[in-house]
Amino acid sequence: MNKQKAEEKASVKLLSGDNPQIAKGFGNEPVAAYIEAVPGWKQAIVREIDDTIVAAVPAVQKAVKWNTPLYGLDGTTWFASVHCFKNFVRLTFFRGTDLEPVPAGPSKVAGVRYHDVEEAAGLDRPLLTQWIRQASALPGEKM
């Protein structure tokens, strides 16, 4: 990492759960800044999730809102998001109850399901790809 990137990363505030505080923005740049600011082992997980989404949905649109990367197809509605917590990275599917198999993590919000990735578990990339392709074919959530 060059000196400028190291200084930028050091200047990013980490919120609870080590989630980076990144300014709202649209496109790859704010999401890349978020990924770069994620600390420790979680950065590799978030980067792999982002890479998997891009590979599965080449036309994906990205944004950061509420310190959370969002993924969609039209730039106004979203099918998934990523967020860091202390002991895991959470991938949220906004219409997760419509996916097969349904992601295990329940939500208080109707239709939403979570997939939490802990350090030791890593990612099941084939399953993740399957979920992403299904989620991207569903109507997105306006946020």
What is 3-142's CATH number? Answer: 3.90.1150
Task: Domain ranges for the chain, please list them.
Answer: 3-142
Stronger pLDDT, 6 or 126, i.e. the higher one: 126
State whether residue 26 is helix, strand or coil. strand
- Residue 11: the pLDDT is 66
pLDDT tens by residue, 78-135: 999 999 999 999 999 999 999 999 999 999 999 999 999 999 988 999 999 999 999 9
Asked whether the beta carbons of 89 and 115 are under 8 A apart, the reply is: no
- Burial 23-51, CB ≥16 within 10 A → b, else e: eeeeeeebbbbbbbbbeeebbebbebbbe
Stronger pLDDT, 5 or 122, i.e. the higher one: 122
Average pLDDT score, the chain: 92
Residue whose entry in the numeric block shows the structure tokens 């036309």 = 59
Stronger pLDDT, 52 or 6, i.e. the higher one: 52
H-run or E-run covering 135: helix 125-137
Q: State how far the Cα of 82 lies from the Cα of 84, in Å rounded to an integer.
A: 7
Q: How many CA atoms lie within 13 A of 58 on its CB side?
A: 0
Q: Give the pLDDT mean for 52-62.
A: 98
**Residue-by-residue DSSP string for 56-114:** H-TT-EEEEETTEEEEESSSSEEEEEEEE-SS-EEEEETTGGGSSSPPSB--SSTT-EE
Instruction: State phi, psi for 78 to the nearest 5 degrees.
Output: -135, 145
